């Protein structure tokens, strides 16, 4: 995002800290999910998120507000990834859901358990399997987003805040 796309009054150090906290949280959760060796369930997914958040808090390098935003953003990204994957585990890729990529080669029984676990986790945290929208200014891991006003596409090459739509200045997006 260049300076012209940033909302007025943007606190750049706080935004940078939010992105850094988000990226560290994703890495902690990815490592925790990679270590699930036996039965995966909603509790193991929830525990991975909680443990990652605790590691960030304990490190003391990020404010509690930045950690809270990172957790909320990661939960949303996980919900979208789980919805997109559904029964299509064979299409798992780095682009769509690298958090779950560590499960790809574990076999169909494990992947079936993982799919059930993600559905259970989403119900547990109250996010369901709807396709949530993203707002300009929210943190995400990157990818393609479609403006809900004009259907223009916004690409984020890596984790960051979603900018307003460059075509219409719209602020609501869906991941594509």
Residue 8 in tokens: 């007025």
Same domain, 29 and 112: yes
Same domain, 49 and 124: yes
Per-residue pLDDT at 20: 92
Residue 96 in tokens: 């769509």
Among the three residues 98, 115, 130, which one is the final residue of a domain in this structure?
Answer: 130
Average pLDDT, the chain: 76
Q: Which domain holds residue 32?
A: 3-130
Rounded CA gap, 66 and 55, in Å?
13
Same domain, 139 and 83: no
Q: Across residues 19-26, what is the average pLDDT?
A: 90
* pTM summary value: 0.70
Same domain, 109 and 170: no
Element (H, E) at 165: none
Greater confidence (50 vs 44) lies with 50
Same domain, 91 and 168: no
3-state DSSP call for residue 172?
A: strand
Same domain, 164 and 112: no
Same domain, 58 and 95: yes
pLDDT tens sequence across 92-129: 444 445 555 555 554 455 555 666 676 677 677 665 44
Same domain, 141 and 126: no
Task: Answer for the pair 64, 101: CB distance below 8 angstroms, yes or no.
Answer: no
pLDDT tens sequence across 28-38: 887 877 777 56
User: In Å, how far from its chain's centre is CA 137?
Assistant: 14
Per-residue pLDDT at 48: 85
Instruction: Please name the residue that has the structure tokens 């525990």.
Output: 47
Same domain, 14 and 41: yes
Same domain, 160 and 119: no
* 3-state per-residue secondary structure call for 44-81: HHHHHHHHHHHHHHHHCCCCHHHHHHHHHHHHHHHHHH
The total number of structural domains in the chain stands at 2
Same domain, 22 and 95: yes
């Amino acid at each position: 995002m260049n300076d012209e796309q940033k909302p007025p009054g943007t606190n750049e150090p706080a935004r940078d800290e939010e992105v850094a906290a988000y990226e560290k949280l994703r890495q902690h959760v990815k490592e925790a999910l990679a270590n699930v060796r036996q039965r995966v369930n909603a509790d193991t997914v929830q525990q991975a998120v909680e443990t990652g958040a605790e590691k960030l808090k304990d490190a003391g390098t990020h404010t509690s507000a930045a950690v809270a935003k990172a957790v909320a953003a990661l939960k949303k990204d996980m919900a979208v990834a789980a919805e997109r994957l559904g029964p299509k585990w064979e299409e798992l890729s780095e682009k769509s859901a690298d958090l779950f990529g560590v499960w790809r080669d574990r076999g169909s029984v494990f992947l079936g358990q993982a799919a059930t676990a993600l559905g259970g986790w989403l119900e547990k945290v109250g996010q369901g399997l709807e396709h949530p929208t993203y707002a300009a200014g929210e943190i995400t891991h990157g990818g393609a987003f479609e403006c809900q006003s004009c259907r223009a596409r916004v690409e984020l090459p890596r984790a960051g805040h979603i900018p307003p739509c460059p075509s219409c200045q719209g602020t609501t997006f869906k991941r594509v």
